[in-house]
Structure 1
Amino acid sequence: MTSLFQRYADDETSDMRIRMPQRVLATTISHYPIDILAGYLEQYLVDPSSVHERYPWAARIVMGMPVPSWARGLEWNAGQKSRFISAVWSGADLGSYLMNSWCESVSAGRALAENSEILIDGQQRLHSLEEYFLDRLAIPDAQGKPRVWSELGDAERKRFLSTIFAHARVSSGDELALRKTYDLCALGVVPRSFDQRAVR
């Protein structure tokens, strides 16, 4: 193996039969402010029962979005949640959260088919935002004093809500493909334990 980097292979040395893994589902990315997520939460809090009617199969609702039964539970402790919210305030890269935009009605009622509009990845981060917005999480201010969301003035709230949190989307009714996508989301950096995987 050569230590010299070559952007493209020399035709004489490349093996055209080698194929690397392919993406499971096509993904699109939009750069939205956290304010969009706050809107989802507001809509949910106004009428939680209608959201539960729409997604009766959801394991839980996070920031107004359904989480499938095959996703891991809420795992982050208070310290991890606080560090994430502090990262938002500090302008760190938040990565992205991933949703499935596919939806299909199951009947004449309000319920959608299982896996419609689910939150696939980002549950821990979005739950941290929800906890913060609902005053269940206090974050140190610039002087180190813990502050909850309701204590903040509009200028600080607007600064936080204008932070970009990339929204990634797939669109599929194929549960196996969605589960595989979920398992790949950790990117090998913090691999999911066997019991946290959706495809076993």
Structure 2
Amino acid sequence: MSIIFQRRRDEENADHRIQMPQQFLPTTTHQHSIDVLACRFEKYQADPSSTHDRYPWAARFVMGIPVPIWARPLVWNVGQKARFISAIWSGQDLGSYVSNEWCSSGVGRALLENGEIVLDGQQRLHSLEEYFLDRLAIPDVQGLPRVWSELGNVERKRFLSAIFAHSSICCDDELELRKTYDLYAQGLAPRALDQRAAQ
């Protein structure tokens, strides 16, 4: 017997006890160009020590954004990174990266843990960083591998104008952040059980 899709159903026969999962934390999404990230990365490169002082608890940084100690390590191989950068060049949808915008003044200039962290998109952000630092070559239209420093301003502007959406939440509860982080495990390279943050 074939099923026919119906957008609505007869409420008289509905089981109102059934509830599907809901979003843990409210999320706001903005359509930003990659240039916004590039500007942040330029500032980070100009003075990394002040960023490290501000986030002394960070495991590492990607594009100048702190990564929490409970995030999985960098796992994308060169092929995955190159495919992501090629997707930018070819105008494909890049999805989004997610960060926690919560911040509160800690001791001195340091922000409290989990403030302004990357929750999802670390691998994609790292791919951008590797490309900008000439550690990743992408084939041009002739098939020749090219690094960022070889490109002229017209091509750079085209790349930097690509949209890479930024979704943000605002939360100071680490357990909720870890649960949200784990929800994003359904991406291109799913997190193994030992890479989950809330166990």
TM-score when scaled to structure 1? 0.96
Residue 38 of structure 1: aligned partner: 38
SS at match of 1:42: helix
SS at match of 1:45: helix
**2:9 is the counterpart of 1:9:** yes
Give deviations 1:51-110, integer Å, cap 9, x for gaps: 001100000010000000010001011111111101110111100000001001112x11
Residue 103 of structure 1: aligned partner: 103
Give deviations 1:112-143, integer Å, cap 9, x for gaps: 00000001100000000000001111111000
Mapping 1:1-200, distance limit 5 Å = 3-107=3-107, 109-187=108-186, 190-200=189-199
CA shift, 1:25, in A, is 0.5
CA shift, 1:3, in A, is 1.0
CA shift, 1:20, in A, is 1.1
Structure 2: how far apart are the matches of 1:23 and 1:189? Answer: 20
CA shift, 1:2, in A, is 7.3
Distance 1:45 1:190, change over 3 A: closer
SS at match of 1:176: helix
Q: Which amino acid aligns with 1:6?
A: Q
SS at match of 1:164: coil
Structure 2: how far apart are the matches of 1:60 and 1:181? Answer: 20
Structure 2: how far apart are the matches of 1:92 and 1:119? Answer: 22
Runs of 4+ in 1 over 4 A off after TM superposition: none
CA shift, 1:15, in A, is 1.0
TM-score when scaled to structure 2? 0.97
Distance 1:192 1:86, change over 3 A: same
Structure 2: how far apart are the matches of 1:142 and 1:157? Answer: 15
Structure 2: how far apart are the matches of 1:53 and 1:62? Answer: 16
Distance 1:190 1:63, change over 3 A: closer
SS at match of 1:99: strand
Structure 1: how far apart are the matches of 2:84 and 2:143? Answer: 16
Range with greater deviation from structure 2 (185-194 or 30-39): 185-194
Q: CA RMSD in A?
A: 1.3
* 5+ long unaligned stretches in structure 1: none
Structure 2: how far apart are the matches of 1:117 and 1:173? Answer: 10
SS at match of 1:4: coil
Distance 1:189 1:14, change over 3 A: farther
Structure 2: how far apart are the matches of 1:194 and 1:145? Answer: 39
SS at match of 1:97: strand
Distance 1:137 1:172, change over 3 A: same
